[in-house]
Structure 1
Amino acid sequence: MPGSITDRLAGTRVLDKIRSLAHVNATNKMWKTSTILATVFGLILLRSWRTGMLSKLLQPTIKQREATEPSLFTKHSSFQSLTTASNHIYPKIRIFYHPHMQAAKLPKDLPLLVFIHGLGGNAAQFASLLTSLVNVGLCLAIDLPGCGLSDFKPDNPAAYTTAAFAELVCAAIEEYRDRENNQQVVLVGHSMGCSIAALLASSASPLRTKLKVDYIIGLIALCPRSGPLSAGEARTVSKLKWLPVPIFDLIRMIDRRGGLQSGSIIRMTGEGADDETRKLQSKFNDQSKSAVFLRFAMGMLPSAIDPHIALPGREIWSGIKVPLFLVAGESDGVTSPKEVEVIAGWLTKPAKAIDENAESTVLDQKSTQGVRDGDVATAKDATDSGSAERSTETVPTTAGDLQHVQYLLSSNADQPTANGDAAASNGSTQPKNEQKHTKHAFALKTTIFPAPAAHGLMYATSTVRILSGLIETFLAHHIDERLALGWQLQHMTTSGKWDVKNLKKWQAISRCSEPIAGVFRAMKTMREVDDVHNPHEFVKRYSYKVLPDGVATVVDISHESPVYDPKGLEEGGVEYHKFPTVSKLPPTPDEVDHFIELIDRLRRSPRMQPSDDSQGGEGTARRPTIGVHCHYGFNRTGFFIICYLVERLKYRLQDAVEEFAAKRSPGIKHDHFINELYVRYAVKMQRRGTIIG
């Protein structure tokens, strides 16, 4: 969402930036030369605008974007033509739909979770959250037109308003919602996506009756905006329609100077973001299209037809009568965390006695640091609110680019601070915690993540795991208890036994291997209801707190939902990561690369560092390991571990295969996995100048 935008759009500022880019010394002596160069350069830009050349240079092709798609999206995406209630036809919209892996064994009316991205974003920004949430519910997300892999059609500007997008999301929901079983929906929005979601969820929305969306039972708003554009912002946005796309491309190119330290990245990730998050933001920046961004910005303006719902304000937000979870980052320089306080203020009032449905969550610096360091961290809830009643009524460069326009093109604009308004007013890393109770008798929860959490908190490595846990807790406690993994596991348990693929075979396999190359342990999946190999028993027997070379982190590479509750591991101090892959097929090179990146990051965390620890005996060297499992812990598990041994630990391929077989006998069982390793690394290592012996 756009930040504060001044109303002065000076054309001379554009020329100044062009001259600066050309490194022309605009002194009196050189004025004629600089003017000629600027004019020539401007003509080149205008020609490139007509041919689309500049945009092609700045933005990746469809094939390039597809190549960087998260594997979860590659497997579960399709394209559809959608027609809305206002008869706008969007010919090619990318839709991500992930059914629950155990859908046949769960209630048919389990709620559908619908994810809505923001201005200039795309659905893949939710990938890190979805990796966890697909295990508890059915998940749906779309790329809005012109974003991600969706076509930038139709050409009608009326199809790009906030209300039009709300109708588009509704059309997608109707395609996938199980109407026969009256399946209900929970909306999860980010930035502008929160405004779209509010128009669908609010009982005060003009769209409510038109679209008949009484199936919405909850809203989770990440970095929401509380109101429409101010008069000054509206004037500036109005002037953007006269800004040629190549000039905007040039402004964005200037904004990206500095690489991972550029303003375009810091504005979204915050000053203290790690390199992994910055690289991810850089990829999102490259995927955003200037023409699409400008069209979306125009759609935020009030019109004569719908002046009140261009961007929803107090009336719409106050009309939300479903459980609502508001989340923001203290360092957000795009949407101030004060926006959460404003929305919460409309729905609440201070009180000495706390209503049982009211809740305010605080994350202190230690909690967030814990996730960054790989420790399990939980939010401090001000109250234990219990369950809420269900309602029956019911990467891109995002707006930071628009915010940057106001800075570059306005003669007296103030540059946004890295920490936003909240940091200045707060004066500490401890967010303000105000006890409130809701006026609308439904659960209201607010969380402000401390710095460096910013606009990209839903994919930042320092916040995504805590955010995922908070969302899962809110879903289960306040919307539908059936969205808790623990409830689902109990529901699917028959006669105290979990029907794994082959229970007797699973029982005969050893639980966990000895350390492999001092880095890994190969495991079989745990079962929540098993007396011997469940998360709590695993922690007691194999945790790094018990063994000098015990497991500090578990990486679950199975594609299915886990047949155990990961909270049992995390309560015992063992971190859990989901890295879904498909069984029976050797992992793709892209999956291997991502696995290696994940393991590299985990190994850098403080918990994985070797140390002397008296708990392990005097003089005992503690070397924590990473547990990896698929279903049985042989083929996919072995493939990934062997790839890491070869690529990072410089093992010869044969030595890596033998090391895995010695510690996880009999090793990889499927010959086609072994053959793929030899084919792949015979080629790969030759290209890298390494000879396989």
Structure 2
Amino acid sequence: MASDEYDPKATDPPLLVRYSSIKSYQTTRATYPGIRVFFRRHLQSDQLPTDPAPIPLLVFVHGLGGSVAQFNCLLTSLSQVASCLAIDLPGCGVSDFSVRDWSAYTTDALVELLETVIEDHREKDKAQGVVLIGHSMGASLCALLAAPRSKPRSDLSNYVMGLVGICPAVQPPSADQARWFRLFLRVPDLFFNLYRAWDRRGGTESPSVLRFTGPNADAETKRLQNLYNWQSRTPVFRRMAWGLLPEWRNGKPSGGLASEETWSSLDVPVFVVTGADDHICPPSQVEKVVRLMGSDRSSSRADSVASEISTSSDDMPVNGKSPNGTTSDTQALATNGKATNDTASLASHGPSADGKLHPEPCIPPLPLHPEKTVKSVILPAPANHTLPYAPATAHTLAGLISDFLTSKITGRLSQGWQLQYLSREGKWDVKNLEKWKSVAPVSDPIGGVFRAIKTLREVDETHSPRCFVERWGETIKDVIDISHDNPVYDPQGLSKGGIKYHKYPTVSKMPPSDADIEGFIELVDKIRATQKEKYGENKVVIGVHCHYGFNRTGFLIVCYLVERCGYTAKQAIDHFAEARPNGIKHEHFRDRLFLRYSGVKTEEN
């Protein structure tokens, strides 16, 4: 095993490395140096409408023992539609553990820290709203941020436009449970670490992993959970766990996790989602949120409450109805992949499929105070507490959240609408449109594994997602987008047609790095394994594109052919050129390939 196998910096995903910084924050309770802040401003923020306010800021809050890395899949997807902010709480992930005072880790202290970081990045002068997205304990912190407070430290709660609770922790420990937990947490670090070492016996099959994943989870989910368990520092875990325990006075909890009163006081759209096999925060927690919010009549917008329960399990037939008999559009999305919110109508006044512009573009409204509603989904087994990072659920979760954002917050968060708006205005489209049109859309088969393609274009009449699905949907079942920027098409158009979209950003004009190559090969291996299981050997292929589908696309495909398919560098480069005439055009790309596979090792003094 490599010495940095579990090191959070060494295992940090590329997206987080590129958009993270280390900052220091001071609150009324403590000074927190060395806090990792991920912030990626939407690349087209300045080109999108800002009346009456910019598109909301999406804020991600991890759970107890977690880190920003657990949101990598969601951040990759949702940063294409909005500015995204996430932090490693003190001592978590790559943030420093330099503050030792236990009072700095109470729930109230963490809420104040989050509030400080959010206000540091929110465009306050433009009245930008925020949508809070929390996992496990993070969902509880989000609820406390969103709820009206008697002595607010800022007016942030007035700008919360929605909340997404993933595997939310809703029920505070009882008085007896809190007392026993405190006794357990008083155990010195030495003995606590001995217990954790015993609990980790068996690695990916240890009790510490299976508690989160269940025994039926796939190997990659177990590997990731094992990684995050090792990255969780014992003294940080003890402090945060202690801080989330409430004090019980006169039969009522005070402090700690968000109480039932906090959840019932929420006056914004709320989406809660969990897995049927979640034994950390079981599905009953989600059902409790729905009951608490659905029965609340104290809200100024109580009459507009629409409580929608969405469950899906192996023994429950999918019929488009929730247990209370009401139709659930979220259930339909979770069970058959078809969104029922009319996202297409948001773009009906933009460019049509033939590229012609409509004279009166429709800009979806941006309500500063969206109507209160609660939606829930329980994903079927073996979905569990690892929803944001388990390969089997992460992309589904991203789609569910995207649907909630566009249907319950604002249609401006629809990537399809954004692309069409920006294309209509001539601000965001493919570079050098005439050159792009002259390039063949799809190459011949490459090594029985790939087809190189040029980027799709949302409003194109021959190479849009809709056209691509119709022409290639039976042959190409996965598309890897290696461009650095947001695509100029809505990937959901591929997903709805049965083609899975994978974003793997690389920098243009530069040969991919060693890390880029290794990650691409690992991604292709996983896709091929899934394809083989679903469709059989050599039945379908993978589409890969950058912008035109020549240089970076060819470089990475050649690397895969050499390292997995037995080609020499020259054979692979020539084969790519035959399938994609003109091949890899940049000389320095070809030079790097020959050097990489020559066996010559470079050294630095």
Measured against the shorter chain, the TM-score band is 0.7 to 0.9
Asked if 1:66 is matched to 2:9, the reply is yes
Q: Distance in 1 between matches of 2:40 and 2:189?
A: 36
Q: CA deviation at 1:329?
A: 1.1
- Please say if 1:558 is aligned against 2:513: no
Question: Relative to structure 1, is the Cα distance of residues 123 and 60 closer, same or farther in structure 2, using a 3 angstrom cutoff?
Answer: farther
Partner of 2:539: 623
User: Which fold has the larger relative contact order, with Cα–Cα distance below 8 Å and residues 6 or more apart in sequence?
Assistant: 1
Q: Which residue of 2 aligns with 1:141?
A: 86
Q: What are the Cα deviations for residues 55-76 of structure 1, in whole angstroms up to 9, with x where unaligned?
A: xx9x977993212110000100
Letter in 2 for 1:174: E
Residue type at the aligned position of 1:285: N
Q: What residue in structure 2 maps to residue 435 of structure 1?
A: none
Distance 1:668 1:230 in 2: 64
Bigger Cα displacement from structure 2, 112-121 vs 94-103:
94-103
Selected match of 1:359 from 284, 308, 315? 308
User: What's the CA shift for 1:652?
Assistant: 1.0
- 1:275-424 to 2 correspondence within 5 Å? 275-302=219-246, 308-349=254-295, 357-365=306-314, 378-380=333-335
Give 3-state SS (helix, strand or coil) of 1:327's partner. strand
Q: Which amino acid aligns with 1:258?
A: G
Provide Cα deviations, 1:594-633, integer angstroms capped at 9, x if missing partner: 211211111112467666xxxxxxxxx9721100001111
Task: Name the residue aligned to 2:47.
Answer: 105
Map Cα deviations across residues 628-662 of structure 1 (whole Å, 9 max, x no partner). 00111111111111111111112111111111111
Q: CA deviation at 1:347?
A: 1.5
The answer to whether the 8 Å contact 1:552/1:607 transfers is no
Q: 2:553 & 2:340 partners in 1: Cα distance?
A: 40
Closer/same/farther in 2, CA of residues 390 and 209 from structure 1, 3 Å limit: farther
**Which residue in the other structure is 1:528 paired with?**
458
Number of the residue aligned with 2:439: 509
1:254 and 2:198 matched = yes
8 Å Cα contact 1:389/1:478 also seen in 2: no
Task: Specify whether residues 320 and 578 from structure 1 end up closer, same or farther in structure 2 by C-alpha distance, changes over 3 A only.
Answer: same
Q: Deviations over 1:307-345 (max 9, x none)?
A: 623111111001100000011111112111111111211
Is 2:524 the partner of 1:643?
no
Q: 2:321 maps to what in 1?
A: none
Shift of 1:80: 0.7
Work out whether 1:666 is the aligned partner of 2:596.
no
The SS at the match of 1:188 is strand
Runs of at least 5 residues in structure 2 that lack an aligned partner in the other structure: 297-302, 318-331, 344-363
The secondary structure found in structure 1 opposite 2:599 is helix
Report the structure number with the largest CA radius of gyration: 1
1:597 matched residue in structure 2: 522
CA distance in 2, matches of 1:333, 1:63: 25
Residues of 2 paired with 1:518 and 1:573: CA distance?
20
Q: Distance in 2 between matches of 1:501 and 1:366?
A: 50
Q: What is the distance in 1 between the residues matched to 2:289 and 2:534? A: 44
Q: Does 1:117 align with 2:42?
A: no
Does the Cα contact within 8 Å between 2:65 and 2:92 map onto a contact in 1? yes
Task: Decide which moves more: 236-245 or 220-229.
Answer: 236-245
Paired letter, 1:130: L
- Following the alignment from structure 2 to structure 1, what is the Cα–Cα distance between the partners of residues 365 and 172? 31
Equivalent residue number for residue 393 of structure 2: 463
User: Could you say if the C-alpha distance between residues 492 and 210 of structure 1 is closer, same or farther in structure 2, counting changes exceeding 3 Å?
Assistant: closer
Number of the residue aligned with 2:22: 79
2:355 is aligned to none
Question: 1:177-224: per-residue Cα shift (whole Å, max 9, x none)?
Answer: 111211110000001101111111112x34546554311110000111
Aligned AA for 1:80? Answer: K
Deviation track 1:460-502 (CA, whole Å, cap 9, x = no partner) reads 1111111110100000000111111111012102368963221
Cα RMSD, aligned residues only: 3.1
Give the letter for the 2:87 counterpart.
I
**Count of aligned pairs:** 557
Q: Could you tell me which residue of structure 2 aligns to residue 45 of structure 1?
A: none
Match of 2:147 among 194, 197, 202: 202
Distance 1:90 1:72, change over 3 A: same
SS in 2 for 1:506: helix
What letter is aligned with 2:486?
S
2:462 alignment partner, SS class: coil
SS of the aligned residue for 1:474 comes to helix
Separation in 1 of the partners of 2:551 and 2:341? Answer: 45
The whole-number CA distance in structure 2 between the counterparts of 1:209 and 1:640 is 50
Partner of 2:510, secondary structure, is coil
Q: Letter of the aligned partner of 2:260 in structure 1?
A: R
Change (3 A) 1:283 1:683: farther
Kindly indicate whether the alpha-carbon contact (under 8 Å) linking 2:48 and 2:418 is maintained by their aligned counterparts in 1.
Answer: yes
Verify the 8 A CA contact 2:6 2:231 in the aligned structure 1: no
Over the matched positions of the two proteins, sequence identity in percent amounts to 45
Kindly provide the CA deviation profile for residues 378-398 of structure 1, in whole angstroms up to 9, marking residues without a partner as x.
Answer: 42599968899977568xxxx
- In the other structure, the counterpart of 1:235 is 179
Q: Secondary structure at the match of 1:463?
A: helix
Q: Which residue of 1 aligns with 2:351?
A: none
Q: Is residue 91 of structure 2 the alignment partner of residue 91 of structure 1?
A: no
Partner SS for 1:462: helix
Could you say if the C-alpha distance between residues 574 and 360 of structure 1 is closer, same or farther in structure 2, counting changes exceeding 3 Å? same
Q: What SS class does the counterpart of residue 682 from structure 1 fall into?
A: coil
- For residues 134 and 127 of structure 2, the distance between their equivalents in structure 1, rounded to whole angstroms, comes to 22
- For residues 7-48 of structure 1, the C-alpha deviation after alignment (integer angstroms, 9 at most, x for no partner) is xxxxxxxxxxxxxxxxxxxxxxxxxxxxxxxxxxxxxxxxxx
Letter in structure 2 aligned against 1:673:
F
For 1:67 and 1:367, the matched residues in 2 are separated by: 43
